[in-house]
A = this chain, B = another copy of it.
């Protein structure tokens, strides 16, 4: 391609933001759109393990702030999403597949085969948990880029007290908290981007090589 797609510039420009403007909120429609775009991400068998709790009200943000070891972005951002993964997502697959068949996205035979396969794989609770984390993360990354494209900034946080988070936000055992994602208007227009490892340190061709991992 001669002309670069604008997403490449957007990806390079994105950085984790820690300081948000506490005076600028985000309306409910904008929050819905962020989630709607984020859930365009793929997931295993299209199970869509991702779930979102949008925390916006000052008193709820305060409780989230306390569960997140006092990280201020949680309180200052317009909204912080608690991104969850459904550990029993596969139970919803028959309904999901029925919709897909009805809309002509998948033939019935393939849908039935997928349900059988998925049930076998995700009977293993460890694999089910891994997939819940994976799917929720794919949606989270999509949301960070969507936020950036909409002139917002974001900051992902994995540091929080899971038990306190569960208690404060009524999160049942079925759902694993995967990350917090603060979204809002940044204070600084330019966030500092952290340097990345050299390509030779993360990429190997044809087989994994010790030299790569030991750099």
- A residues sitting closer than 8 Å to B (CB atoms) are 1, 4-8, 10-12, 14-16, 28, 31-32, 35-37, 39-42, 44, 46, 48, 50-57, 60, 82, 84, 86, 92, 96, 99-100, 103, 105-106, 117, 121, 130-131, 133-134, 137-138, 140-142, 144-146, 149-151, 156, 158-159, 169-172, 174-175, 178-179, 192-197, 199, 202-210, 212-213
In the complex, residue of chain B having the shortest beta-carbon distance to the beta carbon of A204 = B53
B207 touches A169 (CB 8 A): yes
Do most interface residues of chain A lie in helix, strand or loop, or is the interface mixed? mixed
A36 touches B199 (CB 8 A): yes
B10 touches A5 (CB 8 A): yes
Indicate how many identical chains form the complex.
2
Given A32-B203, A40-B11, A204-B53, decide whether A48 and B150 contact each other with a Cβ distance below 8 A. no
In the complex, residue of chain B having the shortest beta-carbon distance to the beta carbon of A137 = B137
Partner of A50, one of B40, B150, B202: B202
Q: 10 interchain pairs (CB within 8 A)?
A: A6-B7, A39-B196, A53-B205, A96-B197, A105-B192, A133-B137, A138-B140, A169-B207, A174-B213, A175-B213
Partner of A141, one of B53, B92, B142: B142
B210 touches A44 (CB 8 A): no
Given A40-B196, A149-B5, decide whether A206 and B48 contact each other with a Cβ distance below 8 A. no
B100 touches A195 (CB 8 A): yes
Complexed CA–CA distance, A197 and B47 (Å): 9
A203 touches B52 (CB 8 A): yes
B54 touches A205 (CB 8 A): yes
Given A5-B150, A50-B202, A96-B197, decide whether A134 and B179 contact each other with a Cβ distance below 8 A. yes
Residue from A6, A8, A32, A202 whose CB has the most chain B CB atoms within 10 Å: A202
